[in-house]
Amino acid sequence: MSDRILIVEDEPNIVESLRFILERADYDVHSISDGRAALERLREQPYSVVVLDIMLPGMNGLDVLRAVRQDDKLAHLPVIVLTAKGQAQDRRAAAKVGANSFITKPYSNAEVVKRVGEFAGR
């Protein structure tokens, strides 16, 4: 059984791109576009890695990450934060809250697979 990855992103083109890249690398990919709904899903279903955008409807990515880190059942979950190029402030804030890694948009396919693989134990 392949590792389950949750993509939390509200831009359909980015979700489609990430899904394609990760499914080709043999991951079981799920996605959700709302921060609050993502937190609920994480509490209901196990995932190996979360790829989390910062700018989300419902609840922003930093708040989702903060809630994940404060939840004993989720605190161990690897979270890779998507950041827009040049958004150093977002990157610093996410690191402070507990992001495991970052992927900068625009991203390379190889970088996405490599980062997810590092946390999925591949």
The CATH number of the domain holding residue 92 is 3.40.50.2300
Q: Strand pairing partners for 101?
A: 80
- Phi–psi pair at 62, nearest 5 degrees: -65, -40
Question: What is the pTM (predicted TM-score) of this model?
Answer: 0.95
Distance (Å, whole) CA 118 – CA 35: 24
Count of domains for the chain: 1
In contact, 99 and 8? CB cutoff 8 Å: no
Per-residue pLDDT of the chain (122 residues; tens, 9 = 90+): 589 999 999 999 999 999 999 999 999 999 999 999 999 999 999 999 999 999 999 999 999 999 999 999 999 999 999 988 768 888 899 999 999 999 998 999 999 999 999 999 88
Q: At what angle do helices 61-70 and 88-97 cross, to 10 degrees?
A: 10
| Residue span of the structural domain in which 12 resides | 4-120
